[in-house]
Amino acid sequence: MAVNDTITIRVDDRIEQAIAALTRGGASATTAIERAILESARRAAPAPPNAARPGAVDSTTLSVQRKLTREQLLEFAERGYIVIPDVVPPEILAKANEAVDKQLKSHPPKDGHAGPHFMFPMWEEEPDLAALLRDTEAFTLAEELTGDGAMEYPWQTQIAMTFPPYIDDRGMPHIDGGMRRKADEPPRTFTMLAGFFLTDQDGDDSGNLYAWPGTHRQHAEYFRKVGPDAFTSYPDIELPEREQVRAKAGDLLLKHYMVGHNVGSNTSDSTRRTIYFRLKVRGHDANWREIIQDPWHDFTPLRPLVSSFEKDGEAAK
């Protein structure tokens, strides 16, 4: 071929998607390739025996590539949230706690404060918090609910602390990002909340998130009835019994965006620490009206599973 000949290369869409998935979150190409090699080695590794807790892996090596079980997928679809044990290895957990200590120095609560204290560092500002999502299996597990390569890393982190003693007696959930919004502003919806527990919350009233299971489906049904623009206040639904989300430090919560939730009481003798990330499927924002009426809009892999409990119109489209 002569030097000046032109070669036309047609880049396959799938290659473009793979490159986008590898370099998302601003990773350099080298880091992305290293990550891909590690991930592929993890997938190939045989699973060691592990009898600690159901679904647990060896958290010191994280040598097993975990998959959500069919039961976990069904539980997420039906109840709207799951807790996956032992996702964060101890060294990543320790560094995340140090990052929270650092943030507390610059954003301390008032002396004697009791109750919730939230801080919202940017994703790039606290790499040791971003590592919870990026350097563990968490993001891959989350994408089992939405499809591989479907989501992007978030731009912000939430540090949620509850200083004891605190009793939350509101008795009501909320949905993030829409309540009390101005009608001409779009709500700040997202796909899924990923929560990392930095402290044990395996008993009651230790700052556990309150969740109202199944309300993602009830809310969607409500918005199908009254229209999505009614999302300026809490939907008028019959609430199920509230639950306290129980987990140990190092566990991961995956919660459907539309599940009603709230800050929980902390009558224990220690401060509760949880880190949240609000994850979105690419292109999510343009579709918020459809999304709040169809709980499976962003959750393509769940659609074939939901026929056992979906009602009229809730079906995958």
Ligand X SMILES: O=C(O)CCC(=O)C(=O)O
Task: Give the binding site for ligand X (CB under 6 A).
Answer: 116, 158, 160, 176, 209, 261-263, 274
Q: How far is the CB of 220 from ligand X (least distance, A)?
A: 19
Distance CA 314, CA 303 (A): 10
Task: Characterize the bridge pairing of strands 192-197 and 158-163.
Answer: unpaired
Count CB atoms within 10 A of the CB of residue 148. Answer: 12
Q: How far is the CB of 161 from ligand X (least distance, A)?
A: 8
Please identify, using beta-carbon distances, which residue of 142 and 159 lies nearer to ligand X: 159
Please identify, using beta-carbon distances, which residue of 160 and 254 lies nearer to ligand X: 160
Please identify, using beta-carbon distances, which residue of 99 and 247 lies nearer to ligand X: 247
Please identify, using beta-carbon distances, which residue of 189 and 274 lies nearer to ligand X: 274
Distance CA 287, CA 162 (A): 34
Distance of CA 211 to the CA centre of its chain: 14
Q: How far is the CB of 312 from ligand X (least distance, A)?
A: 30
Distance CA 181, CA 285 (A): 16
Closest CA to 293 of 235, 251, 249: 235
Distance CA 96, CA 197 (A): 10
Please identify, using beta-carbon distances, which residue of 68 and 161 lies nearer to ligand X: 161
Distance CA 57, CA 104 (A): 31
Six token digits for residue 181: 């919004």
Q: How far is the CB of 262 from ligand X (least distance, A)?
A: 5
Please identify, using beta-carbon distances, which residue of 136 and 266 lies nearer to ligand X: 266
Write down the residue that tokens 């979150």 correspond to: 25
Q: How far is the CB of 218 from ligand X (least distance, A)?
A: 18
Six token digits for residue 3: 């030097």
Q: How far is the CB of 117 from ligand X (least distance, A)?
A: 9
Q: How far is the CB of 124 from ligand X (least distance, A)?
A: 21
Distance CA 272, CA 165 (A): 11
Distance CA 275, CA 251 (A): 11
Please identify, using beta-carbon distances, which residue of 222 and 257 lies nearer to ligand X: 257
Q: How far is the CB of 276 from ligand X (least distance, A)?
A: 7
Please identify, using beta-carbon distances, which residue of 150 and 199 lies nearer to ligand X: 199
Six token digits for residue 51: 């009898």
DSSP-derived secondary structure for 118-134: EE--BTTT-HHHHHHHH
